[in-house]
Structure 1
Amino acid sequence: MRPHSSFGGRHELGQNFLHSDATLHTIANLTRATTGPILEIGPGTGAVTAQLYRLGRPLTLVELDETRIIHLEHSFPRAQIRHADVLTSRLDQPVIVGSLPFHLTTPILRRILRAKKWQNAILLTQWEVARKRAGVGGSTMMTAQWAPWFDFRLIERVPAHAFTPKPSVDGGILTIDRLTTSLVPKRHRSDYQQFVRAAFTGRGRGMKGILTTMNLTDRATLHSTMDRNDVRGDTLPRDLNPDQWAGLYSALSTTAKTTTKNPSAAQKQAAQKQNRQKQEKGNTMHNDKDHKNPTIPAATGEIPTIAEKPVITGELPIVGGDRAAKKLEASIPGVDPEAKAKSHDKGHLQAERGFMPQHAKASQPQPRWNLPRRRG
């Protein structure tokens, strides 16, 4: 029984080793079409490493399982071996090859895409992940966020029985090539990725509804931009190709920046919108919020004081309130207001408590069966 790694067993390390000769030759041919030194992620038993070693190019191996380091050093003496985690190790070679652990595919892909020095990546991942990254059946947000700088391609499907031990799902070979000419400038990467995220997570039916909700520009400009990039109103974000994403971002971001730098134009649009709303309502509101004191210039930050007009507090006046208050303050006829001694009979106590004779319940006639019987 082989020794156990301090980082966990086969499941924790995601060790499903490839043994299919056909798949090994496919990976070797794809790597042969590239140029420059190679960095392999997770060599494991060295099945893929043997194919790469025969190419005679500089080779760097990044392996987390310390129990396999001695075997790799003995089998591939010309290779540089790093005992490190790919999530923290340097990805400083032009070509990256590796069979990624299925449960860590997305974190490793993010790590690879953020690295700057590599040019080509040949990766063996889970089949569904490879399909989505290549945009087959609809791309994911991650693919759309990186599509202006990378070309994702799905090569072939690798059955589960091509691995030892056999996983529960199939694998797929995915290639990622850095574009020589990016569709969006690199300095706009953060803004572009936020734009894509907002589109994928925004509300609305199709791209027309989503972009309208984002309020990037007016409707006429939005419609013309979508027409130029051949984007239908009901198109979903996952169905857009890289050229459409780049075209929408370039046009709409430029329009948004122009509107921001030209506040007078934005103010005119807002004023026109407010005027249209007032006309639709019929201009029935006389105390409009837009009424301003003509003696104080607009947008000065001063609060106008109008002394000749009452301050509107939002309370409604009570009609006849003064007369009702006077009636309540009037003296009760027949009662001496100066008298200090008061009787304490039942009627006086009821009057003090606000009891009036009309408040008493009317006497109810008793039923015949409750009357006393006659005698004799």
Structure 2
Amino acid sequence: MRPHSTFGGRHELGQNFLHSRSTLHTIANLTRATTGPILEIGPGTGAVTAQLYQLGRPLTLVELDETRISHLEHSFPRAQVQHADVLTSRLDQPVIVGSLPFHLTTPILRRLLRARRWQNAVLLTQWEVARKRAGVGGSTMMTAQWAPWFDFRLIERVPAHAFTPKPSVDGGILTIDRLASSLVPDRHRSDYQQFVRTAFTGRGRGMKGILTTMNLTDRTTLQSTMDRNDVRGDTLPRDLKPEQWAGLYSALGATETSTTKSPSAAQKQSRKTQKKGNTMRNDKGHKNPSVAAGTGEIPLIAEKPVITGEIPIVGADQVAKKLEAQIPGVDPEAKTKSHDKGHLQAERGFMPQHAKPSQPQPRWNLPRRQG
């Protein structure tokens, strides 16, 4: 019985080893059409490695299962064997070949597409993943985001019985080639990918509705841009070709990005002023009008003097008498009348007939007769 890896068993490592001779020859022929050193991901038992080894080119093997390292070193002495995880290793060889674990296909592809040194990749992945990445039946957001820099192609379908042990789904051979001249400059990659993400996740029916919701330009310019790139209004994002995505971004997304990232000098000064605020220190026009400049006098904090109980107030008696004097034309008894219940009821329009009739008291509540 084989020793068990510390990283898990066959299911955890995604080990479904290819044994179909026709598929092995297909991978070897695709790799032979490339040039430069080769890096193989997950060699496993070495079935694909044996085909690559016969090409006589520098070969690097990246294997996570430490129980297979000695076998690979003994079987392929001229190859460089690395005990490492592909998700953390450097993919720095011109050609990448490998049978990817089906449950880790997308994370490995994302890391592969972000690496900058490789030129060609021959990958055996899950069939649906290979089909979507090649844009068969409509491209995914991930494919559209990387299409200006890479060419995705679906080569053939690999049945499940071509693996040992047999997986529950079929596989597919996918090739990815870096374009010699990209459709979008590499410095705009982040902005372009955000443009595609917004279009895929935006609201609206078809590309015209989605781009209108994004408020990138006026309707006339938008329609002329779509006509120039042969994009119909009801076209879905998944149906656009890489050239159409690049044309839309160059006309709409690039303009919006440059406007957003390059504010004018007036906008910068306005933001700087708003950040400082209106303080006493930076408000140069603030002056105390009651004090002449250069007099050396102390300005008054408040215009009104502070009144305390110790300082007599001149004219306070006359003010008090004026307040206590009666107001001409006002009845002094009005205050008393206003608190009278009958007077208040009359003011509110209450009449005696509005009162509820008194109810006779029950007999049991009457006082008892004496004697």
TM normalised by structure 1 equals 0.72
Matched, 1:203 2:203: yes
Contact map agreement 2:5 2:66 (CA 8 A) in 1: yes
The 1:57–1:262 alpha-carbon spacing in structure 2 relative to 1, beyond 3 Å, is: closer
The letter of the residue matching 2:118 is W
State the Cα distance separating 1:132 from its structure 2 match: 0.4
State the Cα distance separating 1:253 from its structure 2 match: 3.0
State the Cα distance separating 1:21 from its structure 2 match: 0.6
State the Cα distance separating 1:362 from its structure 2 match: 6.8
Distance in 2 between the 1:181 and 1:254 partners?
18
Counterpart position of 2:84: 84
Counterpart position of 1:169: 169
Counterpart position of 1:43: 43
Counterpart position of 1:101: 101
Counterpart position of 2:320: none
Contact map agreement 1:207 1:234 (CA 8 A) in 2: yes
Counterpart position of 2:20: 20
The residue matched to 2:3 in structure 1 has which SS?
coil
State the Cα distance separating 1:258 from its structure 2 match: 7.1
Residue by residue over 1:160-215, the C-alpha shift from the partner in whole angstroms, topping out at 9 and shown as x without a partner, is 11111111100000000000010001011011001000100111110000001111
Contact map agreement 1:217 1:255 (CA 8 A) in 2: no
Counterpart position of 1:296: none
State the Cα distance separating 1:247 from its structure 2 match: 0.5
Counterpart position of 1:119: 119
Contact map agreement 2:101 2:125 (CA 8 A) in 1: yes
Tell me, which stretches of 5 or more residues in structure 1 are unaligned?
Answer: 264-328, 365-376
The 1:332–1:256 alpha-carbon spacing in structure 2 relative to 1, beyond 3 Å, is: same
The letter of the residue matching 1:148 is P
Residue correspondences, number: 291
Distance in 2 between the 1:202 and 1:229 partners?
20
The residue matched to 2:213 in structure 1 has which SS?
helix
The residue matched to 1:29 in structure 2 has which SS?
helix
The residue matched to 1:40 in structure 2 has which SS?
strand
State the Cα distance separating 1:69 from its structure 2 match: 0.3
Structure 1: which 4+ aligned runs deviate by more than 4 Å? 257-263, 329-338, 354-364
The residue matched to 1:31 in structure 2 has which SS?
helix
Segment drifting more, 128-137 vs 354-363 = 354-363
Distance in 1 between the 2:245 and 2:154 partners?
20
Matched, 1:135 2:135: yes
The residue matched to 1:44 in structure 2 has which SS?
coil
Distance in 1 between the 2:205 and 2:332 partners?
72
Distance in 2 between the 1:225 and 1:240 partners?
14
State the Cα distance separating 1:361 from its structure 2 match: 5.2
Equivalent residue runs for 1:152-301 within 5 Å: 152-256=152-256
The residue matched to 1:22 in structure 2 has which SS?
helix
Distance in 1 between the 2:170 and 2:29 partners?
21
Counterpart position of 1:63: 63
Contact map agreement 1:331 1:337 (CA 8 A) in 2: no
The letter of the residue matching 2:96 is I
Counterpart position of 2:321: none
State the Cα distance separating 1:255 from its structure 2 match: 3.8
State the Cα distance separating 1:115 from its structure 2 match: 0.5
The 1:161–1:334 alpha-carbon spacing in structure 2 relative to 1, beyond 3 Å, is: closer
The 1:252–1:337 alpha-carbon spacing in structure 2 relative to 1, beyond 3 Å, is: closer
Distance in 1 between the 2:158 and 2:99 partners?
12
Q: Cα RMSD over matched residues? A: 2.9
State the Cα distance separating 1:256 from its structure 2 match: 2.9
The 1:95–1:330 alpha-carbon spacing in structure 2 relative to 1, beyond 3 Å, is: farther
The residue matched to 1:233 in structure 2 has which SS?
coil
Bigger-Rg structure (1/2):
2
The 1:363–1:135 alpha-carbon spacing in structure 2 relative to 1, beyond 3 Å, is: farther
State the Cα distance separating 1:33 from its structure 2 match: 0.5
Residue by residue over 1:315-360, the C-alpha shift from the partner in whole angstroms, topping out at 9 and shown as x without a partner, is xxxxxxxxxxxxxx9999996579xxx9xxxx99x98xx9966665
Distance in 2 between the 1:334 and 1:224 partners?
81
State the Cα distance separating 1:17 from its structure 2 match: 0.5
State the Cα distance separating 1:44 from its structure 2 match: 0.3
The 1:245–1:363 alpha-carbon spacing in structure 2 relative to 1, beyond 3 Å, is: farther
Contact map agreement 2:191 2:257 (CA 8 A) in 1: no
The letter of the residue matching 2:252 is L
Counterpart position of 1:316: none
Percent identity over the alignment is 84
Tell me, which stretches of 5 or more residues in structure 2 are unaligned?
Answer: 265-329, 360-371
The residue matched to 1:252 in structure 2 has which SS?
helix
TM normalised by structure 2 equals 0.73
The 1:355–1:98 alpha-carbon spacing in structure 2 relative to 1, beyond 3 Å, is: farther
Distance in 1 between the 2:335 and 2:155 partners?
109
The residue matched to 2:230 in structure 1 has which SS?
coil
The 1:2–1:228 alpha-carbon spacing in structure 2 relative to 1, beyond 3 Å, is: same
Distance in 2 between the 1:332 and 1:7 partners?
100
The residue matched to 1:175 in structure 2 has which SS?
strand
Distance in 2 between the 1:331 and 1:86 partners?
100
Distance in 1 between the 2:68 and 2:353 partners?
102
Distance in 2 between the 1:58 and 1:195 partners?
40
Counterpart position of 1:30: 30
The letter of the residue matching 1:91 is L
Contact map agreement 1:19 1:162 (CA 8 A) in 2: yes
Distance in 2 between the 1:174 and 1:3 partners?
32
The 1:3–1:150 alpha-carbon spacing in structure 2 relative to 1, beyond 3 Å, is: same
